[in-house]
Structures are given as C-alpha cells and as structure tokens.
Amino acid sequence: MSSHALPIADLPTGLYIGGQWRDASDGERIEVLDPATDEVLADVASGSPDDGRAAVDAAAAAADSWAATPPRARGEILRRSYELMIAHRDALAELIALEGGKSRRDAEGEVTYAAEFYRWFAEEAVRGAGHVQHAPGGDKRILTVLQPVGVSVLITPWNFPAAMATRKIGPALAAGCTVVLKPASETPLTALAIAHLMEQAGAPAGVVNVVTARHPGPVVEAMLEHPATRKLSFTGSTEVGRLLLRQAADKVLNCSMELGGNAPFLVFADADIEAAVDGAMVAKMRNAGESCIAANRFLVEEAVAEEFTSRLAERMAALKVGPGTDPDNEVGPMITATARDDIAQMVEASIGSGAKALVGGGPRQGVGSFFEPTVLGDVSADDPILTQEIFGPVAPVVTFASEEEAVRVANDTPFGLAAYVYSGDLARALRVAERVDAGMVGVNRGFISDPAAPFGGVKQSGLGREGGHEGLLEFLEAKYIAVDWEA
C-alpha cells in the first residue's frame, strides 16, 4: 500500500486468520459504502460463526509463544507498526475519510492518534512489573507477578476505526495477549489496512486476527463461547455493551467496556468566553459530533448564556459541510442515512417542544447523509434531547443559576464518560471537576484524548480504562506466589 495510491486498490479484503488472508467459510461479503455519495467503495469478507471460532483457534495456537516473547521484542513490533502507520498516514486518512465520512483533517488527526497508541504501548510493554513484599505475619514472601490474561476478543465501533483498534491491540500485544479483532461492519477497510501493516511490522501469525462480519451477533457469540477466550474488550453503545456483558457472564470473562456518553460542557460566568467557544467547537465538532466524548449538553451560566450561544452559533454557521475527501470541508456526512434520520427526529422533537434552531436544524438536502451544524437555544430542562447521545453536529444549550445547580444537572444522567468545565477560577473548576460524575474532565480544554492518559467512563459509560499504564493492566492478571526462601 503506497501513501499516494488510492488505498483501496491494494488492500486485502479477506478475513485475516492465523497469518493468512482468506474468504469467509460461506463466501459471504459485506459492501462498504461511502456515506458522502452512497456509492459502494469495496466489498470485504463477512465472517461466519465458524470463522470466528477459527480465529480464536489461531489466537490460542499463537498464545504461548507470544506470551514467552520478550517484552522488548513485543514492543519493537508495536514500534514498527507505529512507524508504518505514520509512513502511510495519507493513505490511511483517505481510507477513514472514504468509509467513515470523516473530514480529512479529522481523519489525519485520527491516524496520528491511533499510531501513538502503538508508540505508547511499545514503551509500556517493558513495564508490566509485579512486586515482592514480606507477609505481615513474617512467615513468607508475597510475590505478585503479572501475566497476560490470554486470548482477547476486541470489538470496535465505526467512529474511530483506527484509534479504537490500536487502543486495544497495542496494550493486548504489549501485555503478551493474542487477539481477534471484530471491527464495525461500516468501516472494515481501516482495520484490514492496520492488520496488513502489522503483518509487515513482523507480528507473528495468529497474534493479530481480524474477522469482519455483517451480522456480528452470532459471530461474536461463537467467539465468546470458545473455551480459549479469556477476555472481551468492547467499545460501542451501552445497549450492545450490556448485551455482551450478559453473554460474557456465562464464562465469567474478564471484560473491559468503553460505552456511550452524554458529556456536559459547563461554562461559568467567570470563564474566558472566547476560549470556551473555541473549546466547545472542538469538544462538539471533532468527527462531526460522532464521538463518545462529544459535548452533548451545553450548560451555561445565565449571565453569559446569550453571549456564548450567539458566538457558538456564528462559528457553527461558518463550518464547511461536504465530503471528507475534499480537504477544505470541515464537517463530513453522518455514518449512515439512518443515523442522520435519528438525529433529525431528535432535533425536530426538540423544536416541537419549544427549542429554537439558531443555526441549522435539519439534514442537508441532496446526496449523502449530511446534517447541518445546529445550535439549539431555549431548550427546556426536561427536553429528551438532553438525555440521549445525539452523535451528530447538534449543540443544545440550557442555562443554570448556580454552581450547585450546574453539578446537579450535569450528573442527572446514567452516563459518565467525559465532562468539560470552563471557569476563570481554577479552584472552582477543579472542585466541579471532582464532583462531576465522569471518568474524564477537560478543565478549560475541549480536547482531552491522549494515549498516555487513562480513558474510560463511570456509571453506564463503562468498565476499565484504555491508554495510560492502566490500559496495559486491563490485559494483565496478578498471580500471587507464596514462598519462604529462608526456610
């Protein structure tokens, strides 16, 4: 795959199992669409439950030798994968823009972010340290060693097709686990391209397997029921996460869950409003709002609500909407027509119950699943749009009168992934950051993602963390060895 050629032309489109690219056992294929034009871009193999089992077999066959591979050698494969991803940044970004509809700038940002997980976990591979201690009673030593959890099934969403894959594959491989990746059926090409690059980086056969599937339910079920599977790491909606947790319960699988969000974006009257609007544009509009940490509800103190909202509306109105493949466009299409229509329904209902569209307010007419960047004012406190994950370029604004009320409203949700706080009073910002129910808080910042930081949620936004040192620990298990070497 060259950085300059149209990437799709050279991409393998089969299942990647045990180091071989192969067709699905029943010959099924998935059509991959460009959401900007509704045209078919390519088709890829659609794995069956038998293929899912074969992939777990391959991961199990490679597990012992991979776990025994020196951490430094595992890290070097990740490091080479990082370098290859960066060398192919243009081609990968084009692929993400094509199949995911992401703007070119966001797609390039995602490739860098995704590759950085490999660089980070190449470095973390050598840090899976255990410890030794004297037992309090003095009768023995307590040795705690960290061992790979084992064969891991990794399931990823379409909204960050590269980064969600590397955020799981990186720590799994660093920890000594072999994996089967099941990417979203909307964006399988990016995952196949990453596996292709990892093959070139020297990942041994069976260490990384990829099964694309049009009907994920039975394939994932077959993989979770396989006796060799030890872990499930899932990123996607809370609804599917809940279902998979139930399935995983049968075998008491180790689970990490990165689920949906409903991030509040709090602006206090003492904030730098210009900076808050800049931050709001990033927190809301990265990936056209199709992000789990996207600001979903803007809570603004009454005294500055009008100023903040009108400036936000100006900035949203100025955004260029169009296919991600044109580098001038800032907002690409929604992933599917259904996703666009769901957003349209939420916005219509909100307007129907009294909200005002200060800019945008509906889908863009014509080809592709585009939605106009939208700011909704006069949103009532009980509007359902505030309780749902919008997953699109829509910013509802509500006001608050006190810090107490801001925290109460921010926490009035079953989700708890990200939150954002803007205030010129750092003590207040940190106080609110501590009180808000979220796994991650941006203080006077709209951009928080970093491979070196622990990413994850509380409440129904998930279990566990990805990235940081914590991300490595998700793929390691402590074993306690009791020993008395003075006996």
**Close Cβ partners of 463 (under 8 Å, ≥ 6 residues apart):** 255, 256, 257, 456
Nearest approach in angstroms of CB 250 to ligand NAD is 14
Contact 89, 3 (CB under 8 A): yes
Closer Cβ to ligand NAD, 141 or 214, answer by number: 214
Nearer to ligand NAD, 233 or 423 (CB): 233
**Beta-bridge partners for 359:** 375
Say if CB 241 and CB 248 are below 8 A apart: no
**Residues at the interface with ligand NAD (CB under 6 A):** 155-160, 164, 182-185, 216-217, 220, 235-237, 240, 243-244, 258-261, 292, 389, 417, 457, 462
Residue spans of beta strands (DSSP E) within 111-170: 131-134, 141-148, 152-155
Say whether 361 sits in a helix, a strand or coil.
Answer: coil
Those residues whose C-beta lies under 8 Å from the C-beta of residue 393, and which sit 6 or more positions away, are 284, 285, 288, 289, 316, 319, 331, 360, 371, 372, 373, 374
**Cα–Cα separations (whole angstroms), residue 319 to 260, 284, 328:** 26, 13, 10
State the Cα–Cα distance between residues 314 and 301, nearest whole angstrom: 19
Q: Which of 108, 110, 186, 258 is catalytic?
A: 258
Cβ burial 325-345 (10 Å sphere, 16+ → b, else e): beeebbbbbbbbeebbebbbe
Q: How far apart are CA 377 and CA 300, in angstroms?
A: 11
Minimal distance in Å, beta carbon 83 to ligand NAD? 25
Whole-number Å distance between alpha carbons of 487 and 480: 19
CB of 143 to ligand NAD, least distance (A): 34
Least spacing, CB of residue 238 vs ligand NAD, in Å: 6
Q: Considering beta carbons, is residue 163 or 357 the nearer one to ligand NAD?
A: 163
Confirm whether 258 is a catalytic residue: yes
Active-site residue identified among 99, 292, 301, 330? 292
Q: Which residue is nearest to ligand NAD (CB)?
A: 236
Q: For residue 308, which amino acid is it?
A: F
Minimum CB separation of residue 24 from ligand NAD in Å reads 15
What is the rounded CA–CA span in Å between residue 100 and residue 369?
A: 11
Please say if 301 is a catalytic residue.
no
Cα–Cα distance measured from residue 213 to residue 220, given in angstroms and rounded to the nearest whole number: 9
Nearer to ligand NAD, 159 or 350 (CB): 159
User: Which CB, 62 or 257, lies closer to ligand NAD?
Assistant: 257
CB nearer ligand NAD, residue 309 or residue 461: 461
Mind telling me the catalytic residues? Answer: 258, 292
